[in-house]
Amino acid sequence: MTNKTSKPATKSEPGSTMAEPKLLSGGNPQIAKGYGDEPVQAYIAAMPGWKSEVGRKLDALIKQTVPNVRKAVKWNSPLYGIEDDGWFLGIHCFAKYIKIAFFRGASLQPIPPGESKAQDTRYLNIREGDIIDETQFVTWVRQASELPGERM
């Protein structure tokens, strides 16, 4: 079986070390577009301060909930989806919080709290010190993974 997610994540010269990712305005890591776990892990490692630990936790919960999850970094944001079915979730760092986008969040029960200009999208914002309701997060991830994904 072929794996369509095996596109190269990043390119570097043999024997060279890649530079530390630049933080864009608001503290979002600038990571080259790539598919698979490697660019997502590079993004998580580059998340500043407390955000990296939260990113690792979110990534682990998503992987545990959707073992066949497809990962990529596009537009300096990790995306999670299902092969041939689009993306159901994205993560983005801002100066004071992490924004989790559920691309079909208006169809989730209960609906995630953060509104969006996009009719279907809903957000969950996590700030430093917030306690993540892991049970609710996993429920949203499971529901979102079962809906048609967003093509990007």
Q: What is the pLDDT along the chain (152 residues), one digit of tens a residue?
A: 434 343 333 433 333 334 566 766 777 888 889 999 999 999 999 999 999 999 999 999 999 999 999 999 999 999 999 998 999 999 999 999 999 999 999 999 999 999 999 999 999 999 999 999 999 999 999 999 999 998 88
**pTM, rounded to two decimals:** 0.83
What does DSSP assign to residue 150?
Answer: B
Q: How confident is the model at residue 102, as a pLDDT? A: 98
Q: How confident is the model at residue 17, as a pLDDT? A: 39
Output the six-digit token pair for 101. Answer: 């986008």
What is the 3-class SS of 83-125, one letter each residue? CCCCEEEEEEECCCEEEEEECCHHHCCCCCCECCCCCCCEEEE
* CA torsion, ordered 139, 145, 150, 152, to nearest 10 deg: 110
Between CA 34 and CA 78 the distance in angstroms is: 9
Sign of the torsion formed by the C-alpha atoms of 28, 45, 54 and 56: positive
